[in-house]
Structure 1
Amino acid sequence: MTVETFRLPDVGEGVAEGELLRWLVEPGEEIEADQPLAEVETDKAVVDLPSPYAGRVTELHVAEGEMVPVGTGIVSVEVDDGETADDEASEGDAAAAATDDTGARRAFAAPSTRRLARELGVDVARVEGSGPGGRVTDADVRAAADDEAGEPTATGRPEPRSLDPDATVVLSAAGELETEGRTRRESARAVETASEAVERQRERDRTARDRTLAAPATRGLADELGVDLDTVPTDRERDGVPFVTAAMVREYAARVGEATDTAESADAAEGAATEGTAETTASAGVGEATDDETAAGSGTPEPGERIPYRGIRRSIGEQMERSKYTAPHATHTDEVDVTRLVETKAELEAHAEAEGVSLTYLPFVMRAVTRALREFPRVNASLDEAAEEIVCHDEYNLGIATATDAGLMVPVVEDVDGKGLLDLAAETATKVERARDRSIGREEMQGGTFTITNVGVIGGEYATPIVNYPEVAILALGRVAERPRVVDGEVVPRYTLPLSLSVDHRVVDGAVAARFTNRVMDLLRSPSRLLVD
């Protein structure tokens, strides 16, 4: 038996330090290879640290809340010398595939992925991982199996299309900063409602799952409700490991009779944020619903509390400063009569519901924005300062501001110009929900060419949003509501939508901003044109 010290790795983001948020193991506990040891927050994201060793935890070297430089020993594990050769990863960098003393490569993969590799007859050590930090995923193993069989195969993960790898944050119209995150979620999930089915699923999960991934907030909710995460039914995975969201935990607790008053109050407080993007009344906001606490990003602090300025929040602040002091901002505001849009949306809601889609005003706005961007390429651009060139993009990738418990994030919906209204509604709702439950990935937060944010969901009308550098424009949507307007000499109630467009004045002149906004307004006044390609 020997004692190995696991050191904080560079988790693949090039960071120098991280804050140890929470230990997931304790001294004396027996652990398996790839079992999560701790949750660590860097200036990029919150990540689980998997153990490269199987054995017994002997000592925790750092305390929760402590800032830890990369390479610092954080935990010691007593391992059996004869059982660690196949599973352990390099001590110095557990986020990368490692090599042993003879140069043989050891794979960084979850136990379930290793089992799949054995079933398919694939040497996992020879598979190039496409997951975070080089982790081998199930898709990588299947692709390797196809290659060995001589069959063509797609790569396990699409390459992200990003205009600037460093541009991962954006300021919302309310003055808050949007940040990034990652992965995919299906647009609909089948839910068993009968108690017998729940118990069957729980028993299956007990026997099939020995590890479950979840965000820190989700783990905290599970603790409050007395729910074992390994028993919560899920059809979602991250790198081959089952992944559970807060919504799943609440639903499961309620269905099996384990919910408490805490769950009910949490549902009441978070209902708007977690239940969705549906707009059922014209007076609601244009995009996803939220509440004040969720919009704040990380809960409400106590009076007199001192909050550490580090990790994701510090990264947000630095990017906000970069955007504000690099790009001179100008904001153009206007208001559009969307009475016909309100009527059109109401007519289409039943059809959308039959297709399993919750229809909001946002897809209409996205299509209108894309049409206008085609006519005003300078607004769909970035400034290459090194080359002294304005780059007008031929892609229309729209970032959608989303409030989460970790801050404001901006999932990107790509190729908006090639998608129909209901497709946009479904994809946007899916990415917004994945951003909220922290299962969305970095590449899905990059590559945006224009951003839409929404102050209407918390009652706002006009704003001065900060541009997502190196983009050159961001559109803030106010609240759709009935307001008195003069029509044919008479004051009548009309549904209107306030708009605020901020631009990088180095690239976009005020006149161009006004004409672009006028074109968006023209399309929203006559929404039938948005229903045809």
Structure 2
Amino acid sequence: MAIKEFKLPDVGEGVAEGELVTWHVSPGDTVTEDQVVAEVETDKALVDVPSPYDGTVSELRAEEGEMVPVGNVIITFEVEGEEDEAGASEAEPDVESEAAETTAESETAAETTAESEAAETTAESETETPSGRVFASPSVRRLARELGVDIASVSGSGPSGRVTESDVRAADSGGDDADADDDGPRNVSFSGNSAVSKSGDAGNGKTAGAASAEAAGRARTLAAPATRRLADEEGVNIDDVPATEQRDGEAFVTAAAVQQYAEQQRQAQEADAQALSEEAGAGEAETSADDGAPMAGERVPYRGVRRAIGEQMQRSKYTAPHVTHHDEVDVTELVELREELKPLAEEQGVKLTYMPFVMKAVVAALKEFPFMNSQLDEENEEIVLRDEYNVGVATATDVGLMVPVVHGADGMGLLDLSRDMNEKVEKARDRKISREEMQGGTFTITNIGGIGGEYATPIINYPEVGILALGSIKEKPQVVDGDIVPRKMLTLSLSFDHRIVDGAVGARFTNKVEEYLSNPKLLMLE
């Protein structure tokens, strides 16, 4: 037994520390590799921290609510058979465990010479791991055994070379199963710890003794009438029962082997039923749990995402002199066009909102007014006119405002903008968005109309120089060709950095956005 320390990893570029929000384990708990042991909150996201080991929790080195620097040890594990130094020795416990598991049933069923040789062959094949330890979760290892895939020979495509479920399935479909001697499909199921092949192995040249170790679904099985009757009563296929004897070159199954096989089937079914029951109970407990929302009179810590938002707002407000320009635009034709396109977008699995239309209008206007798509390099005393159009969409989440960024918005059509934006907004609300997906913005749009507002004075997402707030679309009386008619009207509020953008430029930029929104067919040319 060895003690393994686990340090808080670098959970995002530029992150120096994180708040340990929740522990999901306690000292003495048994954990498996990739099991989530804690949640850590950075200044932009909530991150799950998985266990790198199979073992037992030894000690928790940080308290919930504590700010932990990256690289500090937060938890230690007791890992059986592991050595402190990384190397080939780390592979040995897994190999021995898997070999013992794979051969356990065959050794219990009958201790024949042929079965022992088969078990030794299995152990040797799993020991030959080309790169030392195989990094894979228990569920992936189980899948590999079910499919008859040697996990040591599979190239991992996951982080740090980790073998994923898709890697195992790809290896299986690619014919990596060393036991398959024909070109036909090989379907494998599990009974206890023994792989049970559902395609006939009778024609592959294997002896009945060797086949007894893998319970191959044979085309022909010898058994006494009483044994066959027992198999029928137990509800098992006698061709799936491991053969313990061989007569006249054919596999011979005894009544004892049938009983043992049936018992193993029952145990496996009971284990599956218990696992399903536990999962259902956990789901109910999670559903009924209190959400932990703060109550009146409580003191809420000012840290994590909320503190990061506050610091950014303060920096922006006290660095860039804000000016806000307000206006109103007739979007009746835009409303009609969106209603026309919505069913077409839904056919392609896209929810089409007004935001992609506004994003295209903003990008078109930014190209004509490049100072609105710039930032101030104060150190070098230069205004940097950006040649990329990365539009941020301010999103309200349960922990505060986040701004996912649609990169390269100028090269996207309406549906592509919708897909990218919808995906990132959803990830932000689920707190699964990465820092990279919220960086690099050149202009931001925020929608206050979703909660009923019309005008606002939004704070610039510094170091950008402009942010556009959208109000709610309301039907209002307007004079058109001398007549008073109802029209769909949208309010706009543009805040900009007055060090770089003059009031006249801000007004003209807003007018250009209005031109595209009032005549949305012009957007088709962009």
The offset of 1:399, in angstroms, is: 0.8
Match of 1:111 in 2: 137
Residue 339 in 1 paired to residue 365 in 2?
A: no
Q: Given that residues 53 and 88 in structure 1 are in contact (C-alpha distance below 8 angstroms), is that contact kept between their aligned partners in structure 2?
A: no
The offset of 1:527, in angstroms, is: 0.9
Q: Given that residues 334 and 520 in structure 2 are in contact (C-alpha distance below 8 angstroms), is that contact kept between their aligned partners in structure 1?
A: yes
The root-mean-square deviation of aligned C-alpha atoms, in Å, is 3.9
- Partner SS, residue 3 of structure 1: strand
Q: Deviations over 1:372-422 (max 9, x none)?
A: 111111111111222222111221111111122232221111222222222
- Partner SS, residue 304 of structure 1: coil
- Partner SS, residue 344 of structure 2: helix
Residue 23 in 1 paired to residue 23 in 2?
A: yes
The offset of 1:435, in angstroms, is: 1.8
Relative to structure 1, the CA distance from residue 222 to residue 339 in structure 2 (aligned partners, 3 Å threshold; closer, same or farther) is farther
Q: Given that residues 27 and 58 in structure 2 are in contact (C-alpha distance below 8 angstroms), is that contact kept between their aligned partners in structure 1?
A: yes
Residue 60 in 1 paired to residue 60 in 2?
A: yes
Unpaired segments of 5 or more residues in structure 1?
A: 90-104, 146-202, 211-218, 228-258, 267-298
Match of 2:487 in 1: 494
- Write the letter of the residue equivalent to 1:50: P
Match of 2:259 in 1: none
State which of 204, 216, 225 in structure 1 corresponds to 2:284.
225
Match of 1:436 in 2: 429
Residue 510 in 1 paired to residue 495 in 2?
A: no
Relative to structure 1, the CA distance from residue 318 to residue 31 in structure 2 (aligned partners, 3 Å threshold; closer, same or farther) is same
Matches within 5 A, 1:324-403: 324-403=317-396
Aligned mates of 1:222, 1:395 — CA distance in 2: 50
Aligned mates of 1:51, 1:314 — CA distance in 2: 28
Relative to structure 1, the CA distance from residue 393 to residue 51 in structure 2 (aligned partners, 3 Å threshold; closer, same or farther) is same
The offset of 1:426, in angstroms, is: 2.4
Aligned mates of 1:86, 1:398 — CA distance in 2: 47
Q: Given that residues 53 and 87 in structure 1 are in contact (C-alpha distance below 8 angstroms), is that contact kept between their aligned partners in structure 2?
A: no
Aligned mates of 2:281, 2:525 — CA distance in 1: 46
- Partner SS, residue 320 of structure 1: helix
State which of 472, 480, 498 in structure 2 corresponds to 1:479.
472
The offset of 1:36, in angstroms, is: 2.4
Aligned mates of 1:45, 1:449 — CA distance in 2: 21
Aligned mates of 1:375, 1:332 — CA distance in 2: 18
**TM (normalized to structure 2)?**
0.62
Q: Given that residues 13 and 44 in structure 1 are in contact (C-alpha distance below 8 angstroms), is that contact kept between their aligned partners in structure 2?
A: no
Matches within 5 A, 1:46-445: 46-70=46-70, 72-82=72-82, 85=86, 111=137, 119=151, 121=153, 135-136=160-161, 225-226=284-285, 301-445=294-438
Aligned mates of 2:485, 2:499 — CA distance in 1: 41
**TM (normalized to structure 1)?**
0.62
Aligned mates of 1:109, 1:67 — CA distance in 2: 30
Moved more, 2-11 or 437-446: 2-11
Aligned mates of 1:384, 1:224 — CA distance in 2: 51
Q: Given that residues 113 and 138 in structure 1 are in contact (C-alpha distance below 8 angstroms), is that contact kept between their aligned partners in structure 2?
A: no
Relative to structure 1, the CA distance from residue 87 to residue 23 in structure 2 (aligned partners, 3 Å threshold; closer, same or farther) is farther
- Write the letter of the residue equivalent to 2:507: A
Relative to structure 1, the CA distance from residue 508 to residue 22 in structure 2 (aligned partners, 3 Å threshold; closer, same or farther) is same
The offset of 1:500, in angstroms, is: 0.5
Match of 1:458 in 2: 451
- Write the letter of the residue equivalent to 2:76: S
Relative to structure 1, the CA distance from residue 476 to residue 87 in structure 2 (aligned partners, 3 Å threshold; closer, same or farther) is farther
Aligned mates of 1:466, 1:107 — CA distance in 2: 52
- Write the letter of the residue equivalent to 2:2: T
The offset of 1:114, in angstroms, is: 8.7
The offset of 1:316, in angstroms, is: 1.6
Relative to structure 1, the CA distance from residue 422 to residue 505 in structure 2 (aligned partners, 3 Å threshold; closer, same or farther) is same
- Partner SS, residue 436 of structure 2: helix
- Write the letter of the residue equivalent to 1:448: G
- Write the letter of the residue equivalent to 1:397: N
Aligned mates of 1:360, 1:333 — CA distance in 2: 23
- Write the letter of the residue equivalent to 1:360: T
Q: Deviations over 1:188-214 (max 9, x none)?
A: xxxxxxxxxxxxxxx9xx98xx9xxxx
Instruction: Count residues in correspondence.
Output: 375
- Write the letter of the residue equivalent to 2:41: E
Q: Percent identity?
A: 58
Aligned mates of 1:109, 1:367 — CA distance in 2: 45
Q: Given that residues 33 and 87 in structure 1 are in contact (C-alpha distance below 8 angstroms), is that contact kept between their aligned partners in structure 2?
A: no
Aligned mates of 2:510, 2:6 — CA distance in 1: 55
Moved more, 371-380 or 27-36: 27-36
Aligned mates of 2:344, 2:452 — CA distance in 1: 29
- Write the letter of the residue equivalent to 1:340: E
Q: Given that residues 44 and 312 in structure 1 are in contact (C-alpha distance below 8 angstroms), is that contact kept between their aligned partners in structure 2?
A: yes
Aligned mates of 1:114, 1:383 — CA distance in 2: 51
State which of 513, 520, 523 in structure 1 corresponds to 2:516.
523
Q: Given that residues 356 and 414 in structure 2 are in contact (C-alpha distance below 8 angstroms), is that contact kept between their aligned partners in structure 1?
A: yes
The offset of 1:501, in angstroms, is: 0.6
The offset of 1:78, in angstroms, is: 1.9
Unpaired segments of 5 or more residues in structure 2?
A: 91-130, 171-267
Aligned mates of 1:107, 1:472 — CA distance in 2: 51
Which has the larger share of helix? Answer: 2
- Write the letter of the residue equivalent to 1:521: E
Q: Given that residues 371 and 500 in structure 2 are in contact (C-alpha distance below 8 angstroms), is that contact kept between their aligned partners in structure 1?
A: yes
- Write the letter of the residue equivalent to 1:45: A
- Partner SS, residue 77 of structure 1: strand
Q: Given that residues 38 and 48 in structure 1 are in contact (C-alpha distance below 8 angstroms), is that contact kept between their aligned partners in structure 2?
A: yes
Higher relative contact order (CA 8 A, sep 6+): 1
User: Which structure has the larger Rg?
Assistant: 2
Q: Given that residues 113 and 136 in structure 1 are in contact (C-alpha distance below 8 angstroms), is that contact kept between their aligned partners in structure 2?
A: no
